[in-house]
Structure 1
């Protein structure tokens, strides 16, 4: 238990506010890498996932590419990209690597959310004269929001844990203290930085869990209910306004 007490003492030591990399600055760097990587991955993966889910085309290719991206070794990928792009652009190289790691989960959440929707709901929307764009944004996107948030949740947790390797190419973050602690055999420093990474992951996980819990379809889309006698879908027409 002494090492945990020493790790906590390291975290809350006034010395963490000074030095070449103060702890609050390292935390902000860590979160910045995570945020920008997930946002860029979302810009790429969400539209593609919606297109795949709506049209039903390209799913096999997406699954293959997602699986291949998941199999990439993060540290090796960051090092390779830094070597290819150049040391002067190592920040961009690291973000590219983290984006590639985040895309599979977000892509899967985007198209799985739409694929999970009962086809009778979509058919009811078409029967009411809705266009394909209206079906996508008024039915499929709202009803698939929960699984999409799950994809964001998985991607964010993976990236926030992986960003620690950015320190291997001199980009700071909480991984800086882990590498420094390993080199100096300061294990409370290594454990203290690890505890903070775990705490960040738990906080982010809790935020996404709340978002998923309260994710509900928009009220301006078609409402579909089942009649008690026939158990067949009935569309409430006035919900399209």
Structure 2
């Protein structure tokens, strides 16, 4: 399988280790992995802000760069949702781009879904000595049905103990621009999430969307928690985190 790894803006700019971990996992699953060099933003921030023209422009760019591969794999639920669910809507009335958008959507997968359901990764290469609790991100859970896949994969990591937090499916309060426009509300939401994390006394909190993880980590540190690690699922599965 020839797979395009769509790294995402946040991973590229804020935590490249997630991209390298995703690469190692895909190679461990037997994939030929290409990281398209011209990739930029999927357009999700523009779409969420109501900037349809910018979202369409970025979608066309992404489609052109990604449509030549067997699969496209993304270490982010929100970006995957944009390609799988929003792109076909953006071009629903466009004869030239509608078919291309649908074809790309059908071949695009979030990382854990791809590893669990398409590549069928038998053994995760990573090792984690300790306990983790998992945060289900909104877009991954509600738009893509990602729930059991990361948990099944974590059970393949030697040494790892999973502790389920209360309200693991509740929002972390990030929501992209929401956390900026409604800072006080966002803080109350993430405080509730941090309370749930603290109750488990796990060594790390893990998730599949870097935006959520950055929001959670920032609040944990501001609350004085300097010990709970905040890790992307790719980093845990691949090891070296």
Rg (Cα) greater in structure: 1
The structure carrying a bigger strand percent of its residues is: 2
TM range (shorter): under 0.3
- Structure having greater relative contact order (Cα 8 Å, sep ≥ 6): 1
* Length-normalised TM-score, structure 1: 0.24
TM-score by length of 2: 0.24
Greater helix percent: which structure?
A: 1
